[in-house]
Amino acid sequence: MFSSLNAIVPMACVVAAAIAAMTAEAFRAPGERMPIGPLGVIGLAGAGVASVALWNHGATSFGVVVADNFGLFVTGILVVVGLLSLAFSGPAIARERLPQGEYYALLLFSLAGMMLMATAADLLVIFLALEVLSIGVYVLTGIRRQSAAATEAAFKYFLLGAFASAIFLYGMALTYGLTGSTRLDRIGSLVAAQAMSPTPMQVVALGLLLVGFAFKISAVPFHMWTPDAYEGAPAAVTGFMSTGVKAAAFAAFVRVFLSAFDPLHASWEPVIWVIAAATMVLGTVVGVSQTNVKRMLAYSSIAHAGYLLVALIARNDVGKGAILFYLLTYAVTNLGAFGVLALRDTGDAANDNVSDFAGFWNRRPMLAALMTIFLLSLGGFPPMAGFIAKWLVFSAAVKAGDYWLAVIGVLTSVVSVFFYLRIVVMMYMTPEGERPVEVPAVPGAAAAALVLSALLIFYLGILPTRVLDWAAASISTIF
């Protein structure tokens, strides 16, 4: 009996930490400063240890949650995302007097939903996990209740997310009606038997599921919520949802489309090809015109979703391993960039316009250097991790014969360098304005998180072989 619960131990640790955070907030006296954040660190550390202990064991819980190496690798990415997000959230909570217990509980419950989504082997469980993570992120987006922009962003995110969830649910219902099951292994067996002659209803169900996933990963044309949500939310929350949600959604996307519905790849591959190309082009072209760094990084996130879709379409050994490696690289890099933005926020001013970075090197050389590392990695410069990740994705596309998709990816990657380097030029080569931006003191935990992110970027860019081997071996467990 108890062995059947092993697969949910990592997320149980995170849920326990979230409940502890809620309890601590309830018993906190008015005005009392209570260190609630470390409870999340303990829970995430427990999830990390549990994931290592479950590695290579293939534990399952009632057949609907599978702690295979693929799910555990993504869980490890989410642990990193959670720890970095906690480190960057502390200053924002103190500065804007946000409710600690509420903030940390929502963040941890969302992480638990993400972990469940990464390890779910049943469409119904994927949907439940999707709602758990989404509700927490909706509230975190608008947690600054006095901010009209945050309220608007949360409302748009919630409204469009509700439509996407309903569409996904319709796709799941049609799949159940066609196969008599929501279990991915059983769906895969039946679809494989009928793959030679897919019915129109199967194609419709597949399309509805694709819409649900495309919304969560910010793929065109389901990206409309992304810039507003990213701009309105606190920078620490934006970094969290831009990395954690994408990692969890792509994990479920891969498990559903490259496992259960892989026999129908001839039906969904052309559609995702078009979506990937449009996502890369729009994310890059519109990102060039942005003057707000949050919105620029939002369109950058859209473009990176397109690169990940390229690896998914390739469906070869290189592409499958590239998906997990890219998710890890993107999580560390993007969180570092948003971490710097979070530390620049004074409460009175977000200081997140491109012009606000003028002369940043003169005032805070260490933060400017770290921001440069994160931006260059997002742009794909060697020896950063972003270069290896993009090289793997484009290599997978070439190996699969998708030459035009690889060309589009390379060209859009080159164009994206412009808006990353624009901030670098602003920091180093543009004099400060008449009113220089005053950056608050950087807490030790946040500084350590930024340095750790930079070190991981260089490690993954210079010595990627071991992590690549783990990624390739992990994703092979579900095929």
pLDDT in tens, 281-322: 999 999 998 989 999 999 999 999 999 999 999 888 888 889
* pLDDT, mean of residues 185-208: 83
| Burial label, 32 (beta-carbon count in 10 A; 0-12, 13-18, 19+) | exposed
* pLDDT, mean of residues 30-35: 70
pLDDT band at 350 (very low <50, low <70, confident <90, very high): low
The pLDDT value recorded for residue 476 is 78
Element (H, E) at 105: helix 100-119
Which tokens in the block code for residue 12? 């149980």
Distance CA 53, CA 38 (A): 22
The pLDDT value recorded for residue 478 is 72
Distance CA 249, CA 246 (A): 5
pLDDT band at 347 (very low <50, low <70, confident <90, very high): low
pLDDT band at 327 (very low <50, low <70, confident <90, very high): very high
Count of Cβ atoms closer than 10 Å to residue 254 Cβ: 24
Which tokens in the block code for residue 423? 């901030």
pLDDT band at 389 (very low <50, low <70, confident <90, very high): very high
Lowest-confidence segment of 15-24, 62-71, 231-240, 436-445 by average pLDDT: 436-445
The pLDDT value recorded for residue 1 is 47
How confident is the model over 59-83, as pLDDT tens digits?
787 778 998 899 999 999 999 999 9
How confident is the model over 401-449, as pLDDT tens digits?
899 999 999 999 999 999 899 999 999 987 876 666 677 778 888 999 9
**Can you give the residue ranges of every domain in the chain?**
2-478
Do residues 191 and 178 make contact, with C-beta atoms less than 8 angstroms apart?
A: no
Do residues 193 and 135 make contact, with C-beta atoms less than 8 angstroms apart?
A: no
How confident is the model over 145-177, as pLDDT tens digits?
888 888 999 999 999 999 999 999 999 999 999
- 384's torsion region: left (phi>0), alpha (psi -120 to 50) or beta? beta
Listed in sequence order, the residues at least 6 apart from 165 whose beta carbon sits closer than 8 Å to its beta carbon are: 127, 130, 131, 134, 212
Instruction: Identify the CA nearest to 456 among candidates 76, 119, 52, 118.
Output: 76
Q: How much of the chain exceeds pLDDT 90, in percent?
A: 60
* pLDDT, mean of residues 30-49: 86
Rg of the chain, C-alpha, whole Å = 21
Query: What global pTM score does this model have?
Result: 0.95
Count of Cβ atoms closer than 10 Å to residue 148 Cβ: 9
The pLDDT value recorded for residue 31 is 65
β partners of residue 125: none
* pLDDT, mean of residues 75-95: 91
Is residue 221 reached through a cis peptide bond, with omega within 30 degrees of 0 on the bond before it? yes
β partners of residue 353: 292
Listed in sequence order, the residues at least 6 apart from 94 whose beta carbon sits closer than 8 Å to its beta carbon are: none
Query: What is the residue whose two structure tokens read 């081997």?
Result: 469
Phi, psi of 183 (to 5 degrees): -75, 130
pLDDT band at 94 (very low <50, low <70, confident <90, very high): confident
The pLDDT value recorded for residue 436 is 66
Do residues 43 and 13 make contact, with C-beta atoms less than 8 angstroms apart?
A: yes
